[in-house]
């Protein structure tokens, strides 16, 4: 049992702070709204301003970008072969009790692959109970909205809350955040304490083929090229130096905005990792996650792909020749279009074999290894990932989505609004509007949260004053102080 903390925060001060950080309420929706393909959106040409953006990006650095592209294609071919040979074994795995001690040894591979499976973060029996309790919550609240009966518009069920503030979960997240580094030591970000992000949950039944979410990246799409979005994060790639790009440098991401269009699937918080906690046993092909385990290369390819086109089209020559660098031409002048392959404003970035052929997705999207209840799977916020097209297992594949979020001013502002959403029983501001769970029975209260969360859990949820670690830089200490002000603590 987690000891009950002494609270310094009054509900009134929480409400005062939250009222100063309001967000526009979105319309009702589901996870389908997050992706153009799931929401039935037709492919429309991007407006001309994206063509102008592309022209500005390459201006004066055309040769470097072409040369960088050629080096990337050469590397990709060898790396894709390795992934296809190794399959799920290429994904690093570690037991929670060894995470802290083993992290230095596995960090290089983890950083290259972008994904890790951490076994036994939550005791198995406890994680199994989470699912049973979620099912009960759904049963007693039959009006719960859902997508195809499996992605539930639930953010505040007690199991979700318990999992998010479980000391092991917060400990795992703290360890994972240490993988990130600061190129600028003064960056206003703290990785010594995670903030909670309230996402949905999935209970996928055997045989399901409806929730077939193909390869995609979360966290926006066109924003990756836009200077006022996340363009600065990928500066080295767009300058023609993809090898110098560090996916694990937080400094450029502090001020990045991956939500310029406020789509229903947008994420306003900076998530270092997306992740889920398994509540069931799931092997490959049993409705589980697939990832393209080559983080830096795939990100570089995503960013550079819109500047090249094939000379001879797909299917007109053998695949090897089609993929060869000599068949890909830099686009300039009248050749260039506004297209940012797979990116549409307000939606996640989607990938196809046709639009992104050098990623060889048909053989490089690998399943994560078998998971059991209580295992925590995380993947870098830029990792390309997908869901099994068909769930071929015999029991449900069920997860609680729980990302890893550091402390930044932007994240603190979101946390302040989200905290009020918890009290009201409505979805966080990134998600669809409506009454949410406000009228659900058995929805946990603040008192219930206080009954299960320790001091770190209450900090993560915005109900207790954040405290900088002794090892924190001046930038981390400053942002901790700012966050406390934002949160009214």
In the complex, least distance from residue 220 CB atom to Fe ion, rounded to whole angstroms:
12
In the complex, least distance from residue 404 CB atom to Fe ion, rounded to whole angstroms:
14
Which residue in the shown chain puts its C-beta closest to Fe ion? Answer: 218
Please tell me the distance from the alpha carbon of residue 223 to that of residue 220, in angstroms, as a whole number: 6
> Tokens representing 192?
């010594």
- Total residues contacting Fe ion by CB under 5 A comes to 1
List CB contacts of 86: < 8 A, sequence separation 6 or more.
366
In the complex, least distance from residue 401 CB atom to Fe ion, rounded to whole angstroms:
9
Residue closer to Fe ion, measured from CB, 218 or 360:
218
- Work out which of 33, 79, 153, 218 binds Fe ion, going by CB under 5 A: 218
Residue closer to Fe ion, measured from CB, 93 or 218:
218
Contact segment (CB under 5 A) with Fe ion among 101-109, 146-154, 211-219, 358-366 equals: 211-219
Contact segment (CB under 5 A) with Fe ion among 218-226, 277-285, 339-347, 370-378 equals: 218-226
In the complex, least distance from residue 383 CB atom to Fe ion, rounded to whole angstroms:
9
Contact segment (CB under 5 A) with Fe ion among 212-220, 289-297, 305-313, 335-343 equals: 212-220
DSSP string, 335-386: G--S--TT--TTS-EE--TTTSGGG-HHHH-EEPPPB-TT-EEEEETT--EE
Contact segment (CB under 5 A) with Fe ion among 213-221, 229-237, 277-285, 421-429 equals: 213-221
Residue closer to Fe ion, measured from CB, 208 or 464:
208
In the complex, least distance from residue 216 CB atom to Fe ion, rounded to whole angstroms:
6
Say if CB 291 and CB 284 are below 8 A apart. no
Please tell me the distance from the alpha carbon of residue 489 to that of residue 486, in angstroms, as a whole number: 8
In the complex, least distance from residue 386 CB atom to Fe ion, rounded to whole angstroms:
8
In the complex, least distance from residue 385 CB atom to Fe ion, rounded to whole angstroms:
6
Footprint of Fe ion on 347-386 (CB under 5 A): none
Contact segment (CB under 5 A) with Fe ion among 49-57, 215-223, 228-236, 243-251 equals: 215-223
Is 40 buried (19+), middle (13-18) or exposed (0-12) by CB count in 10 A? Answer: exposed
Footprint of Fe ion on 271-310 (CB under 5 A): none
In the complex, least distance from residue 331 CB atom to Fe ion, rounded to whole angstroms:
29
| Angle at CA of residue 402, ends 168 and 6, nearest 5° | 50
Contact segment (CB under 5 A) with Fe ion among 87-95, 217-225, 328-336, 421-429 equals: 217-225
Please tell me the distance from the alpha carbon of residue 230 to that of residue 244, in angstroms, as a whole number: 17
List CB contacts of 474: < 8 A, sequence separation 6 or more.
186
Please tell me the distance from the alpha carbon of residue 37 to that of residue 344, in angstroms, as a whole number: 10
Say if CB 38 and CB 213 are below 8 A apart. yes
Helix axes 409-424, 11-19, angle to 10 degrees: 120
Contact segment (CB under 5 A) with Fe ion among 114-122, 175-183, 214-222, 226-234 equals: 214-222
Residue closer to Fe ion, measured from CB, 218 or 350:
218
Residue closer to Fe ion, measured from CB, 252 or 289:
289
In the complex, least distance from residue 363 CB atom to Fe ion, rounded to whole angstroms:
21
Q: 335-360: string of b/e by CB count within 10 Å (b at 16+)? A: ebebbbbbbbbbbbbbbeeeebbbbb
In the complex, least distance from residue 31 CB atom to Fe ion, rounded to whole angstroms:
9
Is 257 buried (19+), middle (13-18) or exposed (0-12) by CB count in 10 A? Answer: middle
Residue closer to Fe ion, measured from CB, 277 or 412:
277
String of contacts with Fe ion for each residue 167-206, x by CB under 5 A: ----------------------------------------
Residue closer to Fe ion, measured from CB, 158 or 211:
211
Query: Which value, to the nearest 10 degrees, does the dihedral of the CA atoms of residues 228, 48, 66, 353 take?
Result: 90
Footprint of Fe ion on 7-26 (CB under 5 A): none
CA distances from 264 to 204, 336, 341 (A): 22, 30, 21
DSSP string, 420-474: HHHHHT---TTS--S-TTTT-TT---HHHHHHH--HHHHHHTTSS-----TT--H
| Residues making contact with Fe ion (CB under 5 A) | 218
């Amino acid at each position: 049992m987690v000891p009950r903390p002494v609270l310094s925060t009054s509900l009134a001060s929480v409400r005062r702070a939250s009222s100063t950080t309001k967000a526009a309420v979105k319309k009702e929706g589901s996870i389908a709204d997050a992706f153009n393909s799931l929401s039935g959106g037709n492919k429309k040409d991007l407006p001309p301003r994206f063509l102008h953006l592309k022209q500005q990006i390459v201006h004066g650095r055309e040769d470097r970008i072409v040369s960088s592209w050629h080096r990337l294609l050469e590397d990709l071919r060898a790396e894709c072969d390795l992934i296809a040979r190794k399959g799920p074994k290429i994904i690093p795995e570690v037991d929670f009790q060894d995470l802290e001690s083993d992290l230095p040894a596995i960090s290089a591979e983890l950083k290259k692959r972008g994904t890790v499976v951490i076994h036994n973060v939550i005791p198995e029996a406890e994680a199994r109970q989470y699912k049973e309790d979620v099912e009960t919550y759904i049963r007693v609240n039959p009006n719960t909205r859902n997508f195809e009966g499996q992605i539930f518009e639930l953010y505040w069920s007690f199991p979700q809350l318990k999992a998010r503030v479980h000391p092991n979960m917060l400990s795992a997240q703290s360890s994972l955040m240490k993988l990130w580094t600061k190129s600028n030591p003064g960056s206003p970000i703290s990785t010594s304490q995670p903030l909670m992000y309230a996402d949905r949950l999935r209970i996928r039944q055997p045989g399901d083929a409806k929730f077939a979410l193909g390869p995609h990246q979360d966290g926006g799409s066109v924003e990756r090229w836009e200077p006022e979005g996340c363009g600065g994060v990928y500066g080295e790639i767009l300058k023609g130096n993809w090898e110098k790009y560090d996916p694990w440098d937080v400094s450029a991401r502090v001020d990045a905005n991956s939500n310029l269009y406020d789509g229903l699937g947008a994420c306003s918080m900076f998530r270092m990792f997306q992740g889920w906690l398994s509540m069931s046993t799931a092997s490959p092909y049993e409705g589980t996650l697939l990832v393209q385990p080559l983080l830096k290369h795939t990100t570089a390819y995503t960013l550079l792909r819109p500047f090249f086109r094939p000379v001879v089209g797909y299917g007109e020559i053998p695949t090897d020749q089609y993929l060869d660098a000599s068949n890909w031409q830099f686009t300039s002048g009248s050749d260039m279009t506004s297209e940012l392959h797979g990116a549409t404003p307000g939606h996640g970035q989607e990938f196809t074999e046709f639009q992104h052929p050098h990623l060889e997705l048909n053989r490089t999207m690998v399943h994560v290894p078998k998971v059991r209840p209580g295992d925590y799977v995380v993947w870098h916020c830029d990792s390309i990932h997908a869901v099994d097209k068909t769930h071929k297992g015999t029991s449900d594949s069920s997860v609680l989505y729980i990302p890893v979020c550091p402390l930044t001013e932007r994240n603190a502002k979101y946390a302040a609004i989200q905290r009020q959403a918890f009290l009201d029983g409505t979805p966080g501001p990134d998600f669809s509007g409506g009454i949410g769970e406000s009228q659900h029975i058995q929805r946990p209260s603040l008192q219930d949260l206080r009954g299960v969360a320790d001091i770190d859990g209450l900090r993560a949820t915005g109900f207790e004053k954040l405290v900088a670690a002794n090892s924190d830089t001046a930038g981390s200490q400053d942002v901790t102080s700012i966050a406390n002000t934002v949160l009214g603590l």
